[in-house]
Amino acid sequence: MPPKTTSIDEIAVDFATLARLAASQAHDDVRLLLARLIRKYRVTHPELAAQLDSSLKTSQTRAAGGAALRRETPGHVAGTQQADGALSLIKVFDDLGGMEGPLLPAMLKRDIEGIVSERRQREALLARGISPTRSAVLVGAPGLGKTLSARWIAYQLGKPLWVLDLTSVMSSLLGKTGSNLRAAMDHAKANSAVLLLDEVDAIAKRRSDESDVGELKRLVTVILQEVDQWPDTGLLLAATNHPELVDPALWRRFDAVLTFGPPDAATTAIAVRRFLGQDLTEFEPWVGTLAVGLQGGSLSEVERAIKSIRRAHALEQATIEELVARLVEPGIDGMDKTQRLEMALQMARSGQYSHQEISRLTGIARDTIRKHAGPSPRRGRGMK
């Protein structure tokens, strides 16, 4: 709630803060503070707010191209950068040089494309009195592509993604968290950015800690207001692994909920191919085996496994068939009969393992393998 009146003391404090930031040439912080003061004084001192507003606009024009948070030139390699002051809470992912889209189930993909195309056709929607989706919450277990999808959405809209990790917001600058959060969000709004509030449940998790209940309430209030008032020129995203911890009042306010689930077998296979990159041709015969072996994990786990096998291969630590067998072997214990058979057949189809080896690894009888896959191609060429 904006205060009805602002005391002279409060104005003095703001004046002193502004002077201090200006004297230390903390330009970004000055702009952030200005943005906050404009909001604060808009009701009680409209003339002052208007003056501050025009100062902010002038400073933004001058800072264009030199601001700590700026769009990198196209072609810049995807990366992150840190800004100063309250803005250090924001991490920027800039993929404007290009990126591959996330691999997602058809329905989720459609929902995401919907958000992007609504944004692209904002004018047409507004003409009919409808605003495009302004906010969405991304829900799902770790490593399923929430952050990646947020980056993809921003990329599709030709904007960098700004990420505000609420865990670090919470742990840093206690006592100033609310104002820092507000400043960061104001900055994102002013730039029509795509902003991702990562780990939004961090706020809820800390609620049991009685010592800073007041601070938390303020934070939740800040976020609730922001979600309500987020302009349809920008896009506010939030991500969580723990939807059950998120305040229902907050939850309700988001326009859309995107639910991320584990990848299916076909998606895992596509991911294996993608993550093999330039080693794909060499690994082609083993793709099926790898896909079955890695099925059930998140694509982040698939990526990690494939990267490690590529490293081992590059350093010639073992033959590919040995590396692949080593990678999939531990998972076989937890497989049911159907999955073991599928694994056995994939290995047989690869033409790289004798039925004897396959049988040893999967526990499927050699007769069964032969019945489904024909004779062993490499009889007698067993691994050590």
Please tell me the count of residues contacting Mg ion according to CB under 5 A. Answer: 2
SS3 195: strand
User: Please, what is the angle between helix 27-44 and helix 46-63, to 10°?
Assistant: 160
Residue 135's binding partner, choosing from ligand ATP, Mg ion, none, with beta-carbon cut-off 5 to 8 A by kind?
A: none
Report the alpha-carbon distance of residue 138 to residue 107 in Å, rounded: 14
163 contacts ligand ATP (rule: CB under 6 A): no
Q: Does 305 bind ligand ATP (CB under 6 A)?
A: no
**CB nearer to ligand ATP: pick between 23 and 77:** 77
Span from 111-119, 122-130, 142-150, 182-190 in contact with ligand ATP (CB under 6 A) = 142-150
Does residue 92 contact residue 162 with C-beta atoms inside 8 Å? Answer: yes
d(CA 228, CA 185): 13
Q: Which is nearer to ligand ATP, 21 or 196 (CB)?
A: 196
Distance from C-alpha of 208 to C-alpha of 137, rounded to nearest angstrom = 23
Residue 351 near ligand ATP by CB under 6 A: no
Q: Which is nearer to ligand ATP, 48 or 103 (CB)?
A: 103
Asked if 150 and 239 count as a contact pair (C-beta separation under 8 A), the reply is yes
Stretch of 141-149, 271-279, 302-310, 369-377 contacting Mg ion, by CB under 5 A = 141-149
Residues in contact with 1: Cβ distance below 8 Å, sequence separation at least 6, in sequence order: none
In the set 26, 49, 99, 103, which binds ligand ATP (CB under 6 A)? 103
Q: Are strands 194-198 and 161-165 parallel, antiparallel or unpaired?
A: parallel
Q: Is 104 in the site for ligand ATP (CB under 6 A)?
A: yes
Among 56, 195, 299, 328, binds ligand ATP (CB under 6 A): 299
Start-end of H helices in 172-247: 177-190, 202-205, 213-229
> Taking CB under 6 A as the rule, does residue 142 contact ligand ATP?
yes
Cα dist from 176 to 64, 179, 247, 371, whole Å: 28, 6, 22, 69
Residue 297 contacts residue 328 (beta carbons within 8 Å):
no
Contact 329, 290 (CB under 8 A): no
Q: Does 200 bind ligand ATP (CB under 6 A)?
A: no
Residue 146 makes contact with ligand ATP by CB under 6 A: yes
- Tell me: does residue 241 bind ligand ATP (CB under 6 A): yes
Among 256, 303, 356, 366, binds ligand ATP (CB under 6 A): 303
DSSP code of residue 72: P
Check binding of 297 to ligand ATP (CB under 6 A). Answer: no
Residue 366, C-beta contacts closer than 8 angstroms, at least 6 positions apart: 355, 356, 358, 359, 376
Residue closer to Mg ion (CB basis): 38 or 235: 235
Q: Does 240 bind Mg ion (CB under 5 A)?
A: no
Q: Does residue 99 interact with ligand ATP by CB under 6 A?
A: no
Q: Measured from the CB of residue 291, what is the shortest distance to ligand ATP in angstroms?
A: 14
> Site residues (CB under 5 A) for Mg ion?
146-147
